[in-house]
A = this chain, B = another copy of it.
Amino acid sequence: MADIYPEYGFDNSVSVYYYITDWSVIELKVNMARPKNPEIRSERQQQILEAARQIFGEHGLAEARMDDIALAARLSKGTLYLYYKSKDDLVVGLLEALFSQALVQLRAIIELPGLTAEARMIHYVERIVSLMESDASLLNISYEFYAVAARRPAVRDYLQTYFGEYRGLLAALLEQGKARGEYPLVDSGQAALTLVALLEGCTLLWFTDHTAVNPRQTLPVVIRQFFNGLT
């Protein structure tokens, strides 16, 4: 490709001149102004959160730099501060965004008709594992948040809510199976706790040693053991 000479106009436009020869030139004038509509705010926030997830996941909450996030979001550093008033604010924003979506899968599965509780769980962990495998940074960030929970009330509160809901949903799932007579269950709350612990524990083992634990194999086995133990 021949040389390209962009020229920045005062009207948020870029004129790109493509000099085929010295005297023949293609001019493309492009209005660079992004669409102004009320959704800008949420679009930018998405953009930033996505960048934050990537960078925080890669470097950790403390070591990640706002510059890097701005670069990944294709925005200037200053613009970040139009949408999040501090790095801390961004951390909490990401926390909320991530964990508010985390249980969507589980809720969907609970609403599926006609499956045993065990089948639902197997189904669920398959989806979770796929998600985690598709983006390693998700797990990284989770542990970042766990580590930080002890020091930051906002994070701890959010995680408390999250795990509370998590256990509540699993208890509901187990109640379904109990109502259908799949197993005699004494305390579905206690069992839900055990289930969450198993899932989180296996995930930790996988996280610290990808070679020693294969979640696609291990988790279904563990789930089945769990349900066998109930009867």
Contact = CB atoms under 8 A, between A and B. Distances in A.
Interface of A: 1, 4, 6, 8, 10, 12, 14, 16, 18, 26, 28-32, 34, 58-63, 71-72, 74, 136, 139-140, 143-144, 146-151, 156, 159-160, 163-164, 167, 190, 193-194, 196-202, 204-205, 207-209, 211-213, 218, 221-222, 225-226, 228-229
| A interface, over-half SS | helix
A218 B192 CA distance: 12
Of A32, A150, A163, most B-chain CB atoms within 10 Å:
A150
A61 B229 CA distance: 40
A140 B207 CA distance: 18
How many subunits of this chain does the assembly comprise? 4
Contacts of A140: 147, 150-151
Nearest to A9: B74
Contact of A207 (B4, B146, B207): B146
